[in-house]
Amino acid sequence: MAAGVSRKRVRPREHGSLVLDNEGLSRAATDRTMYVRLKAAYLGGRRVITSAAILAEALRGGARDAGVHRVLGGVAVEPVTREIGECAGRLIGSAGLATDQAVDAMVAATALAQAGSVLIVTSDVPHLSALVADHNRVAVAHVDKIG
């Protein structure tokens, strides 16, 4: 490389999105293997995101939050907008679930708002699967099964 010429880091081409629920985010904060998996997904061109609603479940204002904040440094936090809220409500209705699944529904709605293929990483596979059952471009995987 010639002197004075800087290398420009090129961002890999997008390969869909990886959406984290509370367990996905918390596991990445406490489990090195999960953290490495997320980093590999990001470097492989996936967009790694979570819903702002998950922050209410994951952060408690204590020392444990440091690991979550470290992970959040590489995760896009999507806001809960009116559109996301309305979509989440429709998803709950379509799935026949109770409103206590509202945060999961916001995660599902956030996933549906992404372009391309989406993988939701969760420990609550049954509820998230029910919420996105009618959307074949969104898959759901247990936090222990991604790799």
Look at residue 122 in the predicted model and tell me its pLDDT.
94
Look at residue 147 in the predicted model and tell me its pLDDT.
56
Look at residue 64 in the predicted model and tell me its pLDDT.
86
Please indicate, yes or no, if residue 127 is contained in any of the structural domains: yes
In DSSP terms, which residues pair with 49 in a beta bridge? 19, 76
| Domain with 120 in it | 17-142
The total number of structural domains that make up the chain: 1
Q: What's the sign of the alpha-carbon dihedral 49, 53, 55, 57?
A: negative
What does each of the 147 residues of the chain score in pLDDT, given as a tens digit?
344 443 333 343 458 999 999 999 999 999 999 888 888 888 888 999 999 999 999 999 998 899 999 999 989 999 999 999 999 999 999 999 999 999 999 999 999 999 999 999 999 999 999 999 999 999 999 998 875
Look at residue 8 in the predicted model and tell me its pLDDT.
36
How far apart (Å, rounded) are the C-alpha atoms in residues 30 and 107? 21
Look at residue 13 in the predicted model and tell me its pLDDT.
41
How far apart (Å, rounded) are the C-alpha atoms in residues 67 and 48? 16
Q: Where are the beta strands (DSSP E) in the chain?
A: 17-20, 47-51, 76-78, 118-122, 138-142
Please indicate, yes or no, if residue 10 is contained in any of the structural domains: no
Please indicate, yes or no, if residue 105 is contained in any of the structural domains: yes
- Residue 75: give its domain's CATH number: 3.40.50.1010
Please indicate, yes or no, if residue 8 is contained in any of the structural domains: no
Please indicate, yes or no, if residue 4 is contained in any of the structural domains: no
